[in-house]
């Protein structure tokens, strides 16, 4: 499972993981990049 920065837990399903990863990438990129 993947713990999102918003506190939600994403189950590592095939389709859901793609959505979770895109959410995580979008959030972390926003936090990391100026």
**pTM exceeds 0.85:** no
Q: What pLDDT shows up at residue 12? A: 54
Q: What pLDDT shows up at residue 24? A: 72
pLDDT tens-digit map of 1-34:
566 677 776 665 656 667 777 777 776 655 555 5
HEC sequence for the chain: CEECCCCCEECCCHHHHHHHHHHHHHHHHHHHCC
CA distance 31 to 34: 7
Task: State the Cα torsion 7-10-19-12 to the nearest 10°.
Answer: 150
Q: What pLDDT shows up at residue 28? A: 60
Q: What pLDDT shows up at residue 27? A: 65
Q: What pLDDT shows up at residue 19? A: 76
CA distance 15 to 31: 25
Q: What pLDDT shows up at residue 25? A: 72
């Amino acid at each position: 499972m993947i713990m999102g920065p918003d506190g939600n837990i994403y189950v590592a399903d095939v389709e859901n993981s793609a959505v979770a990863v895109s959410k995580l990438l979008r959030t972390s990129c926003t936090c990391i990049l100026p």
